[in-house]
């Protein structure tokens, strides 16, 4: 028996990871696709007049087995992959793409959908109307109106894109894993003890006892470039990181980047759009590339002079401190950290003892209790895909089951860099039953050592709260249809629930729930919190300009025809020249490892981080006015979270806030106005 094809007989019907083997995936997806095709055929062959229930709702419910298997597979390919899984993905992904295209390009199916769409819809409720609109748009946006020749072209483009995206991600992961900086004790100047202990333990694991190994994984890379006194080693580390998948070897992503961008352009033109950004933004709050570019330019005009002033001060600081006459990118984190220490008497080493990972997790849970009345209870009877994963049952204010929550916090070879939230089962209602979601967050935090627990930097605390915010969006989902549930919202709205959670981390009232010294249990001092808040806008002009630059790079690849792009490095340098305030490193390239836009779902959407910051800054001002745990405001925000994609995001936001967001809220918080 293939466990992926049977109903899960586990607690809460969670994924039976202990029973699933790699060889189960391909046979399972083939059988699931077969069943999905049969379900679609039943809709198409129905002789009854097309209606919402027998067409739109039936289609929404079709292919549930496909989704169930795909969610497990792709989550493992991100969080616990290996060579065998990556090889399977090269067959698995095209099968899924072909299945999706077979549905979207089915003329008879689309004829039924169009018939329902063109009927008077007064008898449908708001959520049903949204599902109908979304379904109709999905088909028209995916080629339903194309002729047969163009449909075939679209299939070929989609199949090739699926394979290229996988290869892009595999190359970045391999390049990240392959780099090791092996050091002797005398090379460790400036590095905090817990970082060097972790490096020593890694060296021991790899058979190099007595040495210290640093990697390109964030918990190793970021502290190294921030604290290492050895300038030549910081340079080596930064250049290695920047050149991932940009070197002259078989893992170079330059041709993949150009090919992906070109295929996206061809697909957009095939579907009647000017470019990929034009196509993508039709389904976003920003609506058009012009609006995105205008938004980014408005931010740039404010951030650029601030960034230039900040970097000018940093250059002077480095010159006075160490006689550095040519401040480089590998100096920025190091000297900005030292400058922040002098200005605010605060740094990660002062803060980390108050942020033991287990306490921060508990703090996030306590915030959820205070805001939304939900609680988290650790369970040891839910199967895991790796021993590091911790599993919880989430309960509502009445103590009833609300969701399952997986937490996976430490880096390892089979996990890609970064942090993300995902799901193994979306919330939906079937035959009156509210099937609750199974939500997961995956991060890469500093591992505990033999002598110390996992102590988080403040940036890692923000990351945990950020991903937890995404999780709450999924956990509190309360719709009827999976495709409108939880985080299934416009891409430039999806970051609001995550980014707003970061704001609580600067408030003493929140920090007192969990920020205790790991050795003596003392609460984080009020004056330390004040210094933390004052330091929050340090180098904010530079940070904002950097995000604007990345968003402009994304739009450069996707808001114009990339056919004329020659060398990726030259093209990127031209695009980013305006937003660079430090000397360019010719051996580095962002595009070749820009997984957000070439592997993830952020193509023509990287701007959404800053867009959502406008929303979250404005929304948190409302919380601050009424109290950060005010029940009335929290109740309104809970309603926004629970609604998912059942209504237009601006409508949900206006209902919560009483007005549209004030775009100056972001600049006020950043100290830029």
Beta bridge mates, 408: 442
Give whole-number Cα distances, 488 to 59, 185, 341, 427, 635, in Å. 17, 50, 41, 11, 21
Q: How far apart are the C-alpha atoms of 642 and 633, rounded to whole Å? A: 14
Q: Are 195 and 220 within 8 A, CB to CB? A: yes
Beta strands in 507-559 (DSSP E): none
3-state secondary structure string, 593-631?
Answer: HCHHHHCCCCCCCCCHHHHHHHHHHHHHHHHHHHCCCCH
Whole-angstrom Cα distance, residue 438 to residue 75? 12
Instruction: Indicate left, alpha or beta for 418 from its phi (over 0: left) and psi (-120 to 50: alpha).
Output: left
Q: Is 467 a catalytic residue?
A: yes
Cβ atoms of 331 and 324 within 8 Å: the answer is: yes
**Interior angle at CA 117, CA 111 and CA 122, nearest 5:** 150
| 27 contacts 95 by C-beta, under 8 angstroms | no
Place of tokens 């990660």: 348
The rounded distance, in Å, linking the Cα atoms of 416 and 78 is 6
Q: Residue 471 is encoded by which pair of tokens?
A: 């999780």
Q: Are 332 and 582 in contact (CB under 8 A)?
A: yes
Cα 480 from Cα 460, distance rounded (Å) = 35
* Contact assessment for residue 354 and residue 532, using Cβ atoms and an 8 Å cutoff: no
Do strands 181-183 and 212-214 pair parallel, antiparallel, or not at all (unpaired)?
antiparallel
Q: Which residues contact 120 (CB under 8 A, 6 or more apart)?
A: none
Q: Is 225 exposed, middle or buried (0-12, 13-18, 19+ CB in 10 A)?
A: buried
H-helix or E-strand spanning residue 439: strand 438-442
CB–CB of 25/65 below 8 Å?
no
In Å, the largest CA–CA distance within the chain is 82
Tokens of 109: 């199916």
Measured between its terminal Cα atoms, the distance across the chain in Å is 63
Catalytic residue among 39, 467, 507, 540: 467
Which residues touch 67 (CB under 8 Å, ≥6 apart)? 426, 482
- The two structure tokens encoding residue 339: 């400058």
Q: Is the distance from CB of 270 to CB of 157 less than 8 angstroms?
A: yes
CA–CA separation, 664 vs 673, rounded Å? 8
Q: Which helix (H) or strand (E) holds 670?
A: helix 664-670
CA angle 555, 558, 559 (to 5 degrees): 70
Which stretches does DSSP call E strand in 314-378? 375-378
- What SS3 state is found at 402? strand
What residues act catalytically? 467
């Amino acid at each position: 028996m293939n466990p992926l094809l049977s109903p899960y007989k586990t607690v809460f019907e969670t994924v039976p990871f202990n029973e699933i083997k790699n060889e189960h995936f391909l046979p399972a997806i083939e059988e699931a696709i077969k069943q999905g095709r049969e379900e679609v055929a039943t809709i198409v062959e129905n002789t009854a007049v097309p209606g919402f229930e027998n067409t739109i709702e039936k289609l929404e419910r079709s292919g549930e087995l496909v989704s169930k298997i795909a969610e497990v597979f792709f989550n493992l390919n991100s969080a616990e992959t290996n060579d065998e899984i990556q090889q399977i993905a090269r067959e698995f992904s095209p099968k899924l793409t072909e299945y999706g295209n077979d549905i979207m390009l089915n003329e008879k199916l689309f004829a039924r959908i169009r018939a329902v769409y063109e009927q008077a819809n007064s008898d449908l409720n708001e959520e049903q109307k949204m599902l109908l609109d979304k379904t109709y748009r999905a088909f028209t946006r995916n080629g339903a109106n194309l002729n047969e020749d163009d449909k075939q072209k679209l299939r070929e483009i989609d199949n090739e894109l699926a394979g290229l995206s996988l290869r892009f991600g595999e190359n970045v992961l391999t390049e990240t894993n392959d780099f090791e900086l092996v050091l002797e004790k005398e090379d460790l100047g400036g590095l905090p003890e817990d970082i060097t202990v972790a490096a020593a333990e890694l060296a021991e694991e790899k058979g190099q006892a007595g040495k210290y190994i640093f990697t390109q994984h964030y918990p190793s890379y970021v502290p190294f470039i921030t604290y290492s006194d050895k300038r030549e080693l910081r340079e080596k580390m930064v250049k290695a990181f920047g050149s991932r998948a940009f070197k002259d070897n078989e893992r170079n992503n330059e041709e993949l980047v150009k090919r992906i961008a070109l295929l996206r352009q061809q697909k957009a033109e095939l579907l009647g759009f000017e470019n990929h950004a034009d196509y993508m933004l039709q389904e976003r709050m920003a609506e058009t590339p012009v609006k995105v570019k205008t938004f980014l330019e408005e931010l740039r005009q404010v951030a650029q002079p601030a960034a230039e002033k900040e970097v000018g001060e940093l250059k002077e600081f480095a010159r006075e401190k160490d006689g550095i006459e040519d401040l480089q990118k590998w100096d920025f984190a190091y000297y900005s950290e030292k400058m922040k220490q002098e200005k605010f008497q605060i740094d990660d080493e002062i803060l980390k003892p108050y942020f033991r990972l287990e306490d921060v997790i508990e703090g996030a849970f306590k915030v959820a209790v205070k805001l939304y009345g939900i609680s988290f209870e650790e369970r040891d009877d839910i199967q895991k895909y790796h021993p590091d994963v911790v599993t919880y049952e989430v309960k509502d204010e009445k103590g009833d089951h609300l969701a399952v929550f997986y937490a996976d916090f430490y880096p390892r070879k089979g996990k890609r860099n970064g942090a993300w939230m995902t799901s193994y089962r979306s919330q939906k209602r079937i035959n009156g039953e509210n099937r609750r979601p199974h939500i997961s967050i995956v991060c890469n935090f500093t591992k505990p050592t033999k002598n110390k627990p996992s102590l988080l930097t403040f940036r890692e605390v923000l990351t945990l709260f950020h991903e937890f915010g995404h999780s709450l969006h999924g956990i509190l989902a309360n719709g009827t249809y999976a495709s409108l549930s939880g985080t299934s919202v416009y891409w430039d709205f999806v970051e609001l629930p995550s980014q707003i959670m970061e704001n609580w981390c600067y408030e003493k009232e929140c920090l007192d729930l969990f920020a205790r010294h790991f050795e003596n249990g003392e609460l984080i001092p009020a004056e330390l919190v004040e210094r933390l808040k004052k330091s929050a806008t340090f180098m904010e002009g530079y940070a904002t300009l950097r995000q604007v630059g990345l968003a402009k790079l994304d739009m450069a690849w996707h808001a114009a025809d990339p056919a004329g792009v020659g060398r990726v490095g030259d093209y990127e340098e031209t695009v980013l020249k305006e937003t660079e305030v430090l000397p360019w490193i010719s051996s580095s390239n962002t595009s070749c490892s820009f997984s957000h836009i070439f592997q993830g779902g952020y193509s023509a959407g990287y701007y959404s981080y800053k867009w959502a910051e406008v929303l979250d800054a404005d929304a948190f001002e409302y919380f601050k006015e009424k109290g950060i745990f005010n029940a009335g405001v929290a109740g309104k925000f809970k309603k926004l979270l629970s609604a998912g994609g059942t209504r237009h995001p601006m409508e949900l936001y206006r209902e919560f806030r009483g007005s549209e967001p004030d775009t100056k809220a972001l600049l006020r918080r950043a100290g830029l106005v």
